[in-house]
Chains A and B, each alone.
Chain A
């Protein structure tokens, strides 16, 4: 392989994998045929043209008319995924209350109600699922908001000019989940076993968070600061990163990630934001983010799966 060919091949990596599988050799033939003898590097204009062409193809594949079915499946799935992640986030808190004798604490009731919303998303007509999601969101906000009022976070955050921000960040996912459920065009097509498996894994990953309520944890690790305490959030974030990595191998999965990213990241990445806002970005935010990114990249490896409606 000549230097020029190797450089052209590197530029062709900008193209989607499916496009490269069909057209890489053909495009290489065209590029080599157009190159003057003795040339070892592509011209700047040629490189820019290849990158621009790759961007056009990627954009058209992502948003063009043929991507319609994938977006439809993704809209169907995103509400369910966000609802389940939110439910899994509530489970450790509910379990803690349950073990401490508060069998019907509001948190437990909200966890169970959200599981019911997930069932409605899967089985009921859209209006019923959307109604249940909004009712749940309204109830949850009415219950939680008074607990964080008045909005005085001066002892927690280093800024004072935007005190409502943490509250907005905390409650935005609840509203966004209801929005996604409302936008659901069809009932999501999902293998129940897989959904249950991932949900159980996410709940399991969240269980170590119960330690933050234990005296020994609070007195030892907790006393070292929130940055150290954030290690408890590493597991759920890693599980989600693996799930996202696997989902990213399908067209529908990639679109589901885009749609569900904001509420899910606000739910599970809330602690990342807190760490960032408190200035603990080096060991705290990056300490959580780097393992998650590595797991995402590892899980994404392997053959891209052509059209399947289910991520993971």
Chain B
């Protein structure tokens, strides 16, 4: 799973959000490192919707324009959880090996 996809699903994990809400949330989650633009966001939303990972939640009219909210589906939540597991396992493995490396470097048993 690519990072923008992971972050979009993460943004929707807490509850339904509209497009601009997802952009600001992703920026916040990534501490400003990932800034999604509208083109990237809607291409990703289109794909995630086709894959059944997200769906439209509701619509409201703001300043005469449709604002559509998206939510994570059950399948989307499962995929996100699997991805979190995978990343956590990799992060744990990396942490363990780095500890070993430091221990060896400092001559600790």
- Using a CB–CB distance below 8 Å, which chain A residues touch chain B? 19, 23, 25-31, 33-34, 45-46, 49-54, 56-57, 60, 64-66
Listed residue (B18, B19, B47, B62) with the most chain A CB atoms within 10 angstroms of its CB: B19
Are B38's CB and A30's CB within 8 A?
yes
Are B43's CB and A26's CB within 8 A?
no
Are B37's CB and A45's CB within 8 A?
yes
Are A29's CB and B67's CB within 8 A?
yes
Are A56's CB and B43's CB within 8 A?
yes
Q: A26 contacts which chain B residues (CB < 8 A)?
A: 18-19, 65-68
Binary contact track B6-24/A, C-beta < 8 Å → 1, others 0: 0000000000001110010
Are B50's CB and A49's CB within 8 A?
no
Q: B20 contacts which chain A residues (CB < 8 A)?
A: 29-30, 33-34
Q: Which residue of A lies closest to B68 (CB)?
A: A26
Are A28's CB and B40's CB within 8 A?
no
Contact partner of A34 (CB less than 8 A), chosen from B23, B47, B68, is B23
Binary contact track B38-54/A, C-beta < 8 Å → 1, others 0: 11111100110010000
Q: B18 contacts which chain A residues (CB < 8 A)?
A: 26, 30
B31 interface residue per 8 A CB criterion: no
B63 interface residue per 8 A CB criterion: yes
Q: A49 contacts which chain B residues (CB < 8 A)?
A: 37-40
6 contacts between A and B (CB under 8 A): A26-B18, A29-B66, A29-B67, A53-B43, A54-B43, A57-B42
Cα–Cα distance between A57 and B32 once the two chains are bound (Å) = 26
The 9 closest A-B pairs by CB, nearest first: A53-B39, A49-B39, A49-B37, A50-B39, A53-B43, A56-B43, A29-B65, A30-B19, A33-B20
Q: From known contacts A25-B65, A25-B66, infer whether A30 and B46 are also in contact, taking CB-CB under 8 Å.
A: no
> What secondary structure prevails in chain B residues at the interface with A?
helix
Are A53's CB and B38's CB within 8 A?
yes
> What secondary structure prevails in chain A residues at the interface with B?
helix
**Shortest Cβ distance from B31 into chain A, in angstroms?**
19
Are A60's CB and B47's CB within 8 A?
yes
Are B63's CB and A29's CB within 8 A?
yes
Are A60's CB and B46's CB within 8 A?
yes
Cα–Cα distance between A46 and B36 once the two chains are bound (Å) = 10
Q: From known contacts A19-B46, A60-B46, infer whether A30 and B41 are also in contact, taking CB-CB under 8 Å.
A: yes
**Total count of chain B residues near the partner, CB < 8 A:** 20
Q: Which residue of A lies closest to B61 (CB)?
A: A25
Are B39's CB and A29's CB within 8 A?
no
Contact partner of A23 (CB less than 8 A), chosen from B37, B42, B62, is B42
Q: B46 contacts which chain A residues (CB < 8 A)?
A: 19, 57, 60
Q: From known contacts A30-B19, A30-B38, A66-B50, infer whether A57 and B43 are also in contact, taking CB-CB under 8 Å.
A: yes
Cα–Cα distance between A185 and B46 once the two chains are bound (Å) = 29
**Shortest Cβ distance from A115 into chain B, in angstroms?**
42
**Shortest Cβ distance from B23 into chain A, in angstroms?**
7
**Shortest Cβ distance from B74 into chain A, in angstroms?**
20
Contact partner of B50 (CB less than 8 A), chosen from A34, A54, A60, is A60
Cα–Cα distance between A19 and B68 once the two chains are bound (Å) = 14
Q: B65 contacts which chain A residues (CB < 8 A)?
A: 25-26, 28-29
Q: B38 contacts which chain A residues (CB < 8 A)?
A: 27, 30-31, 34, 46, 49-50, 53
Q: A66 contacts which chain B residues (CB < 8 A)?
A: 50
Are B68's CB and A30's CB within 8 A?
no
Q: From known contacts A53-B38, A60-B50, A64-B50, infer whether A29 and B19 are also in contact, taking CB-CB under 8 Å.
A: yes
Cα–Cα distance between A227 and B18 once the two chains are bound (Å) = 60
Contact partner of A30 (CB less than 8 A), chosen from B23, B43, B63, is B23
**Shortest Cβ distance from A154 into chain B, in angstroms?**
54
Cα–Cα distance between A66 and B47 once the two chains are bound (Å) = 11
Cα–Cα distance between A46 and B42 once the two chains are bound (Å) = 13
Q: A65 contacts which chain B residues (CB < 8 A)?
A: 50
**Shortest Cβ distance from A166 into chain B, in angstroms?**
45
